[in-house]
């Protein structure tokens, strides 16, 4: 039995933090290798409209290699690794300039972030990247994210920006991931091969039956097809992020989507907060313990971060990004979280005020020992 139909009205309604993935085949003309400037200008208007509604928008944009191969005169459809990295290096400059120019026409500032898998897979790098993205969003900017293809190898890479976009969405706790594609969603079979394929508007869970419906990549500019999109859906859903696959080939694809354009919605398995709690509580090893005073306990229960001034004892050899148990004066574990300082730095600042810490470690130092976004209270 196919999933039930979903409401055709704005599927982005109620979603405040969006990650939008743009594939190479949408940004770059397949034959000429040139940027589709009219399409990008229309998309920039769509993004500006979302920003005007008070939404956070993060863009995961392919296109560096596709642009770079033309800039460097590389004609082969399949490039060896050294030429692929060179094309990414040249093309990334053109790509970032294009985004900055088109969004800048709407008064929107952009920030470029290039990622490699260790950044979203290893906790200490994960926290730095997450803070950078959140800071840019807090300042009203639109982060433009891509894989760092100029240094990535075939063996150590995300491999496609579908997976990367899902990792980014979970990293920043986005509530919606939009994959703009050359198809308007998932079908019971690849429609180009099977004219009887039926569109599926809603996927409540990605089962083996759903995975069997996927096909391969449609263009030499693309690394992913429906299979990689379903993989992204698994990552997103498990962390509480909804995902949409929507047609992106026409002008103003986000406007078309919000007007009720056909798409497939992948429902999140649970809410993002619950998923993050499970991740911290169930999948990460506790490497240290922090004992705090009664005032700090009250602060945590009121939703605040754990500051060093309320800490009375540290145990364990931990580094920034490790999971630590937080205990009260009766040695009861009351919380767990991702610690924001290495043990050596934490030893220097326990019991001290934030102003003193900045004087000791520098004005750019983050003074929370465990930020509230990375803290799970037991029993809640």
Reading the block at residue 106, the tokens are 């709407």
Name the residue among 342, 357, 234 with its Cα closest to residue 287. Answer: 342
| 3-state SS class at 145 | strand
Q: Residue 203: its pLDDT value, please?
A: 93
Asked if 215 and 193 touch (Cβ cutoff 8 Å), the reply is yes
Give φ, ψ of 321 to 5 degrees.
Answer: 100, -15
Tokens 């009375």 -> residue = 312
The pLDDT, as a whole number, for residue 192 is 82
Look-up: residue for tokens 């053109």?
94
Query: What is the spatial distance between Cα 178 and Cα 36, in angstroms, rounded to a whole number?
Result: 20
Given the structure tokens 């306990």, which residue do they identify? 297
At residue 40, the pLDDT reads 97
Q: What is the pLDDT of residue 148?
A: 81
Beta bridge partner(s), residue 224: none
> What confidence score (pLDDT) does residue 294 get?
95
**Tens digit of each residue's pLDDT, the chain (380 residues):** 334 444 457 999 989 999 999 988 899 988 888 999 999 999 999 999 999 999 999 999 988 988 999 999 988 778 888 888 898 899 999 999 999 999 999 999 999 999 877 676 666 677 788 889 999 999 999 999 988 877 765 544 555 788 889 989 988 889 999 999 989 999 998 888 888 999 999 999 888 888 888 754 444 444 457 888 998 898 888 778 899 999 999 999 999 999 999 999 999 876 555 666 666 765 567 889 999 999 999 999 999 999 999 999 999 999 888 889 999 999 999 999 989 888 998 999 999 888 888 778 777 667 889 998 888 888 65
**Closest by CA position to 22, among listed 56, 63, 51:** 63
pLDDT at 373: 82
| Contact in structure between 211 and 14 (CB atoms under 8 Å) | no
Which residues 6+ apart lie within 8 Å of 90 measured at CB?
67, 68, 71, 72
């Amino acid at each position: 039995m196919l999933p039930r139909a979903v409401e055709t009205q704005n599927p982005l309604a109620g979603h405040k933090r969006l990650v939008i993935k743009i594939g190479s085949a949408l940004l770059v003309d397949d034959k000429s290798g040139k940027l589709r400037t009219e399409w990008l200008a229309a998309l920039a208007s769509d993004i500006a409209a979302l920003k005007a509604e008070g939404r956070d928008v993060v863009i995961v944009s392919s296109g560096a290699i596709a642009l770079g191969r033309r800039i460097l005169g590389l004609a082969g459809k399949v490039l060896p690794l050294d030429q692929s990295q060179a094309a990414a290096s040249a093309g990334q400059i053109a790509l970032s300039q294009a985004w900055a120019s088109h969004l800048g026409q709407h008064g929107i500032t952009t920030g470029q972030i290039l990622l490699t898998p260790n950044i979203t897979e290893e906790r200490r790098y994960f926290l730095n990247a997450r803070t950078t993205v959140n800071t840019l969003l807090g300042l009203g900017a639109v982060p433009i994210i891509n894989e760092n293809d100029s240094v990535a190898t075939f063996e150590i890479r995300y491999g496609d920006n579908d997976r990367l976009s899902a990792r980014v969405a979970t990293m920043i706790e986005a509530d919606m991931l939009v994959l703009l594609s050359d198809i308007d969603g998932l079908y019971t079979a690849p429609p180009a091969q099977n004219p009887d394929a039926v569109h599926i508007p809603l996927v409540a869970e990605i089962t083996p039956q759903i995975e069997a419906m996927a096909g391969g990549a449609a263009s030499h500019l693309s690394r992913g097809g429906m299979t990689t999109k379903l993989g992204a859906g698994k990552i997103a859903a498990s962390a509480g992020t909804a995902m949409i696959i929507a047609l992106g080939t026409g002008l103003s694809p986000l406007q078309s989507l919000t007007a009720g354009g056909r798409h497939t919605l992948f429902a999140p398995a649970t809410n993002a907060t619950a998923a993050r709690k499970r991740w911290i509580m169930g999948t990460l090893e506790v490497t240290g313990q922090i004992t705090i005073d009664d005032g700090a306990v009250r602060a945590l229960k009121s939703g605040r971060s754990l500051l060093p001034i309320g800490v009375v004892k540290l145990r364990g050899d931990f580094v920034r990004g490790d999971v630590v148990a937080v205990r009260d004066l009766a040695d009861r574990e009351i919380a767990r979280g991702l610690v924001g300082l290495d043990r050596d730095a934490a030893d220097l600042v326990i019991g001290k005020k934030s102003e003193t810490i900045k004087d000791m470690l520098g004005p750019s130092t983050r003074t929370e020992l465990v930020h509230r976004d990375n803290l799970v209270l037991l029993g809640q």
